[in-house]
Structure 1
């Protein structure tokens, strides 16, 4: 018996489609879904083909750049039953009107967590090894011998303490990937019990203690009102001299001014993939400090890693078409403590 193919409309930034869906993924998508239009929609208010496609769509396949699905959009989409988001958080996309109407929602946060965790683990190991600082110093003494073992006698990963802030999907994957190394792992997460922490192989601690004892503090908490500036000037001051802060979560978790002051003093190191504001002003010292690795929000899916997001979304549409529940559903009641 042939699979029912639900009518599906793509909503995202138009330039994103060829990067998300290569030829093979596009073929797989068309095997499980009836694509309403070969173009993509980034504005549900436009008349014409996009409006007609929205009126017939049973599923919205969304990604970055998709407009919010609000009551006005739902009124124009009477057949809509599901939103499959080929990216992480749906908070800016799925509105209360969707939940009120009972729209089923899936996201690819699990798929997107893989590269973030891999990036974080790489940065943990390189930071403890002081690779970025070694590179700068080696460049400065080029052509001359230097006693690097004496100069960096404090470097290395053996028995270092890594503090993970947030037992989120990404935080748990980071813990899993770091487990084989000779590291002590400590965790701060108010929702994780002592028994669960033991199963994860980490020692649960308060946030202040985590800042005090960790050589690396790695942030994996969601962006919520109560997590804003959770790493403030006082907690940065608790961190031991030479410790490294890694932020691949959200810039709002850290007091940017306080962090900049600490880094400019040379007391701490940092790996910063997310900032507040999202693009720092050109005059920010963080661009040039030798103890800072600053990247433009690329720890998540980049390049061919977007194909993992597409695969996840296509698999969810296939499950829907087969009458199965989503493997990666998003529930309204979880949004107040997740990204």
Structure 2
């Protein structure tokens, strides 16, 4: 959207996130590119106090806590041409009326994928060393066996890792795994075999991946087709001693079946997401030595939020210049993505 004058822009999100998304250096760049009031953050598009500014807004800069941009909101913003989302999925923020209006939307989902992939890489490498379980053993027994003889099956040389889903996160994980001596498999029904191999993975049907991989990491979207994709039968396919990593969504796994498998001690898990979330205080998973639970921290947090804000600023530069957006979201993508 090249323009002679900077476009009128407006923040729409939970204002608590604004200082970390756009610290002073990013806010200064943003204000050079657009007319925007850093003190005005909309939480309700129907609020009469924002009607005048919404009526002139050309670009919405959104984030977590943005209200749905529905038909009423669109009527209140007749000049709106673009939405730049400083977070991940836009699925629940935009609907039919939005797409029918032809508004451009961009997301920082790619930037948010990086810390999730970094978390996953760390989990994979620690799992290959059995670090989570051994930490609990040391803590409980206060004993330190000779590591050169006590753990003959540990190690990441040739360890088989299976990724379920070539999402943005899944692809980032594949990139990060390239330097390591691991055997990597991928299941994604939307990725052809040659593309999977180009990504550095052996393409496999889901059941075969589960049966043949020591470590399984979930990166599929939370859509109707993936609901409970790891049910009791499929969890049972994971080899004894295998490790399941979930940084996607808890809904992809049958929670009762997962609990039964983990209580039995047959497999282990690294869970950044669960169902329900958060887990109740009396959940068996919180006390098991073979389960490592974190409170949904894999995605962008703390100083990582600036990366999301920087992505939006860079998209705004493209929007007001001559280049195409680097992170535009298209309607068709939402059927198979988060």
What interval of TM-score do these two structures reach, taking the shorter chain for normalisation? over 0.9
| CA distance in structure 2 between the partners assigned to 1:19 and 1:45 by the alignment | 26
Contact 1:214 1:240 in 2 (8 A): yes
Aligned counterpart, 2:235 = 236
| CA distance in structure 1 between the partners assigned to 2:292 and 2:221 by the alignment | 22
Contact 1:3 1:322 in 2 (8 A): no
Aligned counterpart, 1:132 = 132
Aligned counterpart, 2:96 = 96
Range that drifts further, 213-222 or 31-40: 31-40
Contact 2:10 2:40 in 1 (8 A): no
TM score, norm. by length of structure 1: 0.96
Aligned counterpart, 1:252 = 251
Contact 2:56 2:77 in 1 (8 A): yes
Contact 2:161 2:183 in 1 (8 A): yes
| Counterparts in 2 of 1:288 and 1:3: CA distance versus 1, 3 Å | farther
Contact 1:244 1:270 in 2 (8 A): yes
1:220 aligns with 2:219: yes
Q: CA deviation at 1:83?
A: 0.6
Aligned counterpart, 2:277 = 278
1:4 aligns with 2:5: yes
| CA distance in structure 2 between the partners assigned to 1:278 and 1:134 by the alignment | 26
SS in 2 for 1:335: helix
| CA distance in structure 1 between the partners assigned to 2:242 and 2:55 by the alignment | 55
Aligned counterpart, 1:28 = 29
Contact 1:120 1:174 in 2 (8 A): yes
- Listed one character per residue, the Cα deviations across residues 195-221 of structure 1 (whole Å, up to 9, x for unaligned) are 112212211111001100011100111
Contact 2:58 2:81 in 1 (8 A): yes
Aligned counterpart, 2:20 = 19
| CA distance in structure 1 between the partners assigned to 2:255 and 2:43 by the alignment | 32
Q: CA deviation at 1:5?
A: 1.4
| CA distance in structure 2 between the partners assigned to 1:229 and 1:196 by the alignment | 26
Aligned counterpart, 1:313 = 312
Contact 1:105 1:330 in 2 (8 A): yes
Q: CA deviation at 1:146?
A: 2.3
Task: Show the 5 A alignment for 1:165-184.
Answer: 165-184=164-183
Task: Show the 5 A alignment for 1:56-71.
Answer: 56-71=56-71
Range that drifts further, 274-283 or 223-232: 274-283
Range that drifts further, 311-320 or 196-205: 196-205
SS in 1 for 2:90: coil
Contact 1:5 1:34 in 2 (8 A): yes
Aligned counterpart, 2:47 = 46
Q: CA deviation at 1:279?
A: 1.6
- Listed one character per residue, the Cα deviations across residues 236-263 of structure 1 (whole Å, up to 9, x for unaligned) are 0000011000011111111111101111
| Counterparts in 2 of 1:37 and 1:25: CA distance versus 1, 3 Å | closer
TM score, norm. by length of structure 2: 0.96
| Counterparts in 2 of 1:24 and 1:153: CA distance versus 1, 3 Å | same
Root-mean-square deviation (Å):
1.4
For this pair of structures, how many residues does the alignment match? 336
- Listed one character per residue, the Cα deviations across residues 69-96 of structure 1 (whole Å, up to 9, x for unaligned) are 0001001111111110011100011111
SS in 1 for 2:236: helix
| Counterparts in 2 of 1:277 and 1:141: CA distance versus 1, 3 Å | closer
| CA distance in structure 2 between the partners assigned to 1:309 and 1:146 by the alignment | 45
Aligned counterpart, 1:83 = 83
Aligned counterpart, 1:111 = 111
Structure 1 alignment gaps of length 5 or more: none
| Counterparts in 2 of 1:23 and 1:207: CA distance versus 1, 3 Å | same
Structure 2 alignment gaps of length 5 or more: none
Aligned counterpart, 1:328 = 327
